[in-house]
Each structure stands twice: as structure tokens, then as C-alpha cells.
Structure 1
């Protein structure tokens, strides 16, 4: 399960796919329709400085400092071969049918999902971390490295795989008991009683 901002769920899903792990639920925090369905979902919108409320910025490559890895001809050949650049098709097309997509997951929903679906790992931000771990499920914070990392490039993928292996295959999670699981009765009195 992955619930993170930006397009992180989409990108991390590809890493989990390489590990042979299935995403059973995912979503974004502050996501929009195009984050789920792709950038072409609203084709009549023209992105320009007025629609973004910022000045248009023009960037030109410095010939003395910028050396592209691929020439324009090589990029064009790759595009003609089916590779897409600067395109985002959204999270939904990459998920298997039946995968739950939940936008702006709240704490109650997170705990219910864990209870009902029993994921091997839950990936989100810091606010979910400790409550999910108390349910006996390893939690990987994807908003920052937390522990492990860095995750950029090929070596970063290897770091990520090692971290996920460590979390998923650790037996400690089966021993976790939240205080309310061992003693669900809470009692108390008001000061004036």
C-alpha cells in the first residue's frame, strides 16, 4: 500500500513490481484527476504562464556547461520506437484491475485498510508511521529517506530493495502489540469526580 504526495506512488510502484510485489491500494495526498488519469485527461487546457500564475521562464542550455547524453536525432529515434518523454499517463493505468485507489487517505481509513487487507508493507508519510507500525505492519516512510537511501539511480534502486527486504522479512512485526490490543479497556475519572 502506498499513499504519498506528488507522483511518488506511481514511481515506487515500478520498483515494487521489479521485486514481484503487488500494489493492492494506492493514492496521493492532494492529488488531482490528471495524477490518476494522466496529463491528457483535460486536453483543452493550455498550460501557460497565465494558467500557472507565474511568469513564463525560458531556459537555454549553456553550450560550455551542458552536454546532453542523447542527441536530438537519438531522442527522435527513441520516440519513434515507442519511448515517451515528458509524458505522464497517470497512476490508474499502471494498477491492476481491483486495486483500490484512495485520494487523501485519512487515519481511520488507513487503519481499516490494514485491518481488512493485511498488507506486507505500508508506505506513506510520517503521520501514518507509528500508528501503522503499532498494527504490526512494517511502514516505510516515502516522504524522506527516514532510514536507508539514497534511492536515486541504479544504486538507489538497490538500496531501496535492500530496505524493503529488511522491513518485510523482519519477524519483529509479528510480535508487535499496541497497548489497546493487550488491554483494550481504558478507564479514567474526571477531576471533579
Structure 2
């Protein structure tokens, strides 16, 4: 089945949702996600008819050998996982292209001082440039949340900016919970590391 001829409403209804800290690869089924300060990168090989999408909140997350932190929560690991997953499914790196979205400022507590949205957007651009993967379309920053629909079969992506709404309120709760989970895991990682220090 092909989805390219469908209206965006139908594509959204039939899509596979990608949650914060996750990634997915498909050949046909559309992928979707809802973004605030997070960033999603759509990466695809149009010739091979395969693509994937990820969703991350932090550019990177330092780990120790004993860390319990889920690596895919951070952009550097999430991007590597998406790229390696695509290559394992038959995509060819020289033919990969990307589209990226997000980094909005909708949660003031995350924007103040840390400027997470801009850091995520800059990270996505820099990572793709370093890997030699063209960023052919993007929509970053601003005071909006975004709904992303991605068609892996041909690389088409739809980005809908949204102002404050029930959907945005739900997104704020979800991203705040995601940020809290990251903070807890980082704290637990520190505690776990401290327990492993031996005094002589």
C-alpha cells in the first residue's frame, strides 16, 4: 500500500507514532511525532524506499561504564541508532537525505538558561553536516509546537505549527515528564557512580 496519495488527515490517522526518546524505521507506513523543544530528524534513502524518524530532547548525555541512562534519550546516540538502523535495512549512506524539525520554545523552564531548543537544532545541523548527509528541509525554533508526518516511501514530510491548544498542553506535560525522567536518570547515574568509588 502506498500513502503518498492520501490527505494529511488520513496519513496522520494511519501513522505510527514515535514517542520522545524513541526512533522508528519503516518502508511504507507513515511515521508521526509531536514536538516542542525536542527535535525530530527524518532520514531516508528515496531510491531504496526506506526511511526513519527519531525524537530527542538533549543533544548529548555523558555516560559512565556503569550508567543506567537510556542512551537513546540523547541526540548523539539517537542519531547513530537511526543511521545504523537504516543502513542495516539496506539504505545507502551516500544517498541519504534528511529533514529536521522542532526546537520550539513552549516550556519556559526548559528554555531559560539552557536554551534546549536551539541546542537541539544546532546539534542536528552539525551532526548531519559531519556525517555528510544533506539537510534538504528544516523548520526550527519559534514559539510553536509542531506535528510531524513523514512518508518513508518517498521522503515527503509535513510539518504543522501549532499555537497553544489542548494538544500543546498535552505535549507540555509529556515533555516535562520526559525532562524529569532524564534528570532522575542523570541523578541516579551520579549516585551509582559514587557508590563505585573505593577509598584507599
TM range (shorter): under 0.3
Greater C-alpha radius of gyration: 1
TM-score (norm 1): 0.20
TM-score (norm 2): 0.19
Higher strand share: 2
